[in-house]
Amino acid sequence: MKISKLTIISGAMLLLVGATHTSCSDALDLAPIDYYGSESYWRTEAHAIGYIDGIHKHLRDAAWQHSIVFGELRGGHYINDVTGDGSAIDNGSIIRQNFDANNTGVSNFGDLYGRITNCNLFIARVTDATYISEEKKNYLLGMVYGLRAFYYFDLYRIYGGVPLRLGVEVIDGVLDPTKLYMSRATPSQVMAHIKSDLQKSLELFGPSNNLDPYNFGKKAYWNKAATESLIGEVYLWNAKVTTGDNAANQADLAVAKKHLENVVNNYGLTLLPDFAKVFDANNKGNDEIIFAVRFAEGEASNNLGAYTYNISTGSVNKNSYLEDGSLFDDPLRTAGASSVQRYEYKKALFLSFDKEDRRRNATFTAAYKKDDEGNLSLWSTHVSKNIGYINSNGIRQWVGDFVFYRLSWVYLTLAEIANMEGNNAKVEEYVNKVRQRAYGTDWSSEVAYSAGDFTTNELAILKEKNKEFVQEGQRWWDLRRMTLTKGGKHLVFTSEGSIDGIPVLDEATEAHKVLWPLNKGLLDNDDALEQTPGY
């Protein structure tokens, strides 16, 4: 027997151990409750809500993979050898686009099917439940349908066609392993399912635009605005990207636009005046945030210390200088925080910022070398964005949330849609909403964006996103989706879309690498699976 049930339900039963829910909590309370078998568990409202907590805890476990591994590392804006602090990089094969049948980046579909099975089980057990009010039950189901669509959209963008597992056969005791084999659905079938789940999520949330009607946690639980944001992202992708048998359909632009305009107008969102405050760990769930994965001291940290220097063994601290010429002496106060730089952005990204752009210093702390005459030259960059806070013991805690959707993303996505529509006035409006916040009191007509032709606008939107969303899991997807001309070559294959003038992928020899390969162990364990085309 070749089937590996762990591949299918990785972590699913963990949620049956569960997590209790605390009203008005800003964090996920992970205190365990008694174990319940899958049949006896689903008896009370507390069981259902505890499982919702577990599903979101499981999402947090996947947040690094979603944002960094899938959304960041392949964007061509990371160095691929040794960091300026002297440490070897992590995930070098992914950064270098080194993908083949033996180098797959992640294994077992990134373990996303365990998370999907958790969603499937909740849907199967709660849909007909009578122990919870219909309105509240629908709200919970709206969350779960939205999250299942979220996971399948990741799988679609990563692999194209994937198995559509929508039931709970393994939980309900299917013992014949051959019945668990499942071939990859076509890309068009997967996309149709994603759209169906999104529509179901929206229907279940109902007419209310309250982002947290049951006090689960301030924007740390999936909500209606997150579903509408995901609809915008999915439909824009489908309007511009052909995958296998699923051809790009520009008619989807109108759907994306409608729902993103709903997000702008219906949920009381606003850009914060200060870019840095968006990521302040003491300002979580602020007015710009739509949905973020919550981290908390004593509960879970976010691993972003891998983007800063090591105070004791690194090459930078006390051996380099800040931009004002002063000694680089632990400016981010990482002492005791166990930070080791394993990831670093290319210097060209830092140099693309104007000095007047507040995002530069809110995102990076740069280290400089100084020659004998006191002249400075850029040595390395260290991320100062979303670095948590200093606790009462004087130790930095890496507990900033991973933001999946926020208002500036909606504005720049609407700018991309407007560019597809040929509406230059709206391109300018949306880009300048974001840019004006970035420049603050230095805002002027000289730095305002003036729209041009399609190519000029598309590249300007990309460059604005490069600066706005460092470390937020956007650039790889932008390169995959955005095009040099309307309906033309995707930016991942162009020098214009790159940070340093070198295309991220060579279209002639690496076009298949826009999708990821399946690992050998997974293929060996399921006779129904086939390798991703091109590998």
Residue 262 placed within a domain: no
Residue 112 placed within a domain: no
Residue 41 placed within a domain: no
**Dist CA 224 CA 211 (whole Å):** 7
Residue 366 placed within a domain: yes
Q: By C-alpha distance, which of 435, 452, 454, 453 is closest to 443? A: 435
- Give residue 389's domain range: 304-402
Residue with tokens 């039931």: 167
Tokens (6 digits) for 369: 């070398």
pTM value > 0.85? yes
Query: What three-state secondary structure class fits 28?
Result: coil
Q: By C-alpha distance, which of 507, 514, 480, 522 is closest to 102? A: 522
- The answer to whether 263 and 269 have CB atoms below 8 angstroms apart is yes
Residue 348 placed within a domain: yes
Count: domains in the chain: 1
Provide the pairing of β-strand 389-390 with 364-370: unpaired
Residue 46 placed within a domain: no
Residue 486 placed within a domain: no
Residue 56 placed within a domain: no
Digitized pLDDT (tens) for each residue of the chain, 535 residues in all:
332 333 333 344 444 434 333 333 334 333 333 334 456 789 999 999 999 999 999 999 999 999 999 999 999 999 999 999 999 999 999 999 999 999 999 999 999 999 999 999 999 999 999 999 999 999 999 999 999 999 999 999 999 999 999 988 766 665 566 667 889 999 999 999 999 999 999 999 999 999 999 999 889 999 999 999 999 999 999 999 999 999 999 999 999 999 999 999 999 999 999 999 999 999 999 999 999 999 999 999 999 999 999 999 999 999 999 999 999 999 999 999 989 999 999 999 999 999 999 999 999 999 999 999 999 999 999 999 999 999 999 999 999 999 999 999 999 999 999 999 999 999 999 999 999 999 999 999 999 999 999 999 999 999 999 999 999 999 999 999 999 999 999 999 999 999 999 999 999 999 999 999 999 999 999 999 999 999 9
